[in-house]
């Protein structure tokens, strides 16, 4: 176990691009010094854009009439750092990874970024508004899963630093060892977070409860009337991965690109014929809740697509609260 200030740790990572929360909205962007990195208690936007950019070119082409003119974008395979993820975010990237590597098709864009990344994850002694990661089995505010370097804030200046993978360990090798006092303090911080985190949201069998309520007007009417149909919940969510694919012309060049998309938009499932299997906000918000708390687990195995980060809860302007949805589902299904 090591100990470091922000700057000392930053120096260990020199030579690599570092993405960290910066600016007015604490978006993950490249920084050139430790001073630029905000130390926010909560990050309203998730770090997923460091792994899955909102707008990503799939390929370029010079001539739309000639598909042999397709050129793939240049890929930067160099290691880079994503600093300031939370344990929930690290878990979310693992979940997206399940989708992007499943079956016969591997999404090389995500995979090479994920593999090239050094994930610096900060544990949370104080839960953020809406957080409930502790409600999911095996998760919590100090879960190290998916990290390369794990930080525990000791005070305003210093972190307890642990290399959780070989890659992470090698990078921090030069840092001074933590004292027993530091380690004890780290344990106390950890206990503080573990004690405070909301574990009351039922998640264990929720996929079946949600399945049973799929057609229940009583269950869904509580939320769908007020859902405005914006895409904020999906865009701030670290594990929402749905995207759209489009073609565009830029000057003399063309590209095919993908952009984040949202199941909350009417266009998401609108077919060319005009038919829309999800014509109203009722089906759309239901789709999101089902995907988060049921479909993903049923399809991919043992985990939900929600990591309990609380961002959607905190940001929803009409108070749609996934914790509440899970609790009501559990209560109604009984």
- Site residues for other proteins, window 297-326 (CB under 8 A)? 298-299, 313-315, 317-321, 323-324
- Out of 22, 36, 265, 333, name the contact with other proteins by CB under 8 A: 265
* 288 part of the interface to other proteins, by CB under 8 A: no
**Pick from 320, 307, 317: nearest CA to 128:** 307
Q: CB of 99 within 8 A of CB of 300? A: yes
- How far apart are alpha carbons 307 and 300 in whole angstroms? 15
Shortest distance, position 324 Cβ to other proteins, whole Å:
5
Q: CB of 151 within 8 A of CB of 123? A: yes
Shortest distance, position 242 Cβ to other proteins, whole Å:
3
What's 155's DSSP letter?
S
* 38 part of the interface to other proteins, by CB under 8 A: no
Which residue, 118 or 305, has its beta carbon nearer to other proteins? 305
* 41 part of the interface to other proteins, by CB under 8 A: yes
| Contacting range for other proteins; rule: CB under 8 A; set: 68-76, 86-94, 159-167, 172-180 | 68-76
Which residue, 17 or 256, has its beta carbon nearer to other proteins? 256
Q: Residue 183 in 3-state DSSP? A: helix
**What Cα–Cα distance (Å) separates residue 270 from each residue in 28, 284, 290?**
32, 12, 19
Q: By rule CB under 8 A, what count of residues binds other proteins?
A: 103
Which residue, 130 or 186, has its beta carbon nearer to other proteins? 130
- How far apart are alpha carbons 121 and 142 in whole angstroms? 9
Q: CB of 216 within 8 A of CB of 224? A: no
How many Cβ atoms from other residues are within 10 Å of residue 222's Cβ? 13
- Out of 58, 116, 183, 333, name the contact with other proteins by CB under 8 A: 58
- What is the footprint of other proteins within residues 218-247 (CB under 8 A)? 225-226, 228-232, 234-236, 241-247
**What Cα–Cα distance (Å) separates residue 128 from each residue in 8, 133, 142, 193, 310?**
27, 10, 14, 10, 7
- What is the footprint of other proteins within residues 89-118 (CB under 8 A)? 99-100, 102-109, 111-112
Tokens of 76: 């930067």
Which residue, 1 or 315, has its beta carbon nearer to other proteins? 315
H/E run at residue 4 = strand 2-5
Shortest distance, position 164 Cβ to other proteins, whole Å:
25
- Out of 14, 155, 273, 301, name the contact with other proteins by CB under 8 A: 273
Q: CB of 19 within 8 A of CB of 81? A: yes
Which residue, 175 or 294, has its beta carbon nearer to other proteins? 294
**Pick from 211, 220, 223, 228: nearest CA to 266:** 228
Shortest distance, position 51 Cβ to other proteins, whole Å:
14
Shortest distance, position 24 Cβ to other proteins, whole Å:
6
What strands, in cross-sheet order, belong to the sheet with 2-5? 2-5, 158-163, 149-153, 117-122, 80-85, 17-22, 27-31
Shortest distance, position 170 Cβ to other proteins, whole Å:
25
- Out of 155, 156, 249, 251, name the contact with other proteins by CB under 8 A: 249
């Amino acid at each position: 176990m090591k100990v470091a200030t922000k700057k000392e740790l930053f120096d260990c990572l020199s030579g690599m691009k570092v993405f960290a929360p910066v600016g007015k909205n604490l978006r993950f962007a490249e920084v050139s010094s430790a001073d630029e990195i905000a130390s926010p208690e909560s990050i309203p936007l998730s770090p997923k854009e460091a792994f899955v950019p909102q707008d990503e070119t799939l390929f370029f082409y010079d001539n739309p009439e000639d598909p042999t003119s397709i050129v793939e974008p240049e890929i930067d395979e160099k290691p880079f750092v994503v600093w300031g993820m939370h344990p929930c975010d690290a878990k979310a990237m693992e979940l997206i990874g399940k989708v992007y590597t499943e079956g016969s098709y591997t999404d090389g864009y995500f995979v090479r970024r994920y593999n090239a990344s050094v994930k610096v994850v900060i544990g949370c002694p104080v839960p953020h508004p809406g957080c409930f990661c502790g409600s999911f089995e095996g998760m919590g505010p100090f879960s190290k899963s998916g990290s390369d370097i794990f930080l525990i804030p000791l005070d305003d200046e210093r972190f307890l630093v642990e290399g959780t993978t070989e890659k992470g360990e090698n990078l921090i090798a030069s840092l001074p060892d933590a004292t027993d006092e530091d380690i004890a303090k780290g344990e106390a911080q950890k206990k503080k977070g573990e004690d405070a985190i909301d574990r009351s949201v039922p998640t264990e069998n929720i996929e079946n409860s949600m399945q049973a309520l799929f057609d229940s007007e009583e269950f869904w009417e509580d939320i769908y009337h007020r859902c405005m149909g914006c895409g904020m919940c999906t865009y701030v969510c670290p594990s929402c991965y749905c995207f759209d694919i489009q073609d565009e012309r830029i000057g003399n060049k063309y590209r095919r690109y993908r952009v984040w998309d949202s199941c909350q938009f009417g266009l998401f499932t609108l077919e060319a014929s005009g038919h829309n299997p999800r014509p109203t906000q009722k089906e759309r918000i239901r789709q999101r809740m089902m995907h988060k708390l049921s479909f993903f687990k049923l399809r991919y195995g043992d985990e939900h697509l929600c990591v309990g980060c609380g961002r959607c809860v905190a940001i929803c302007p009409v108070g749609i609260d996934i914790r509440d949805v899970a609790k009501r589902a559990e209560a109604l299904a009984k």
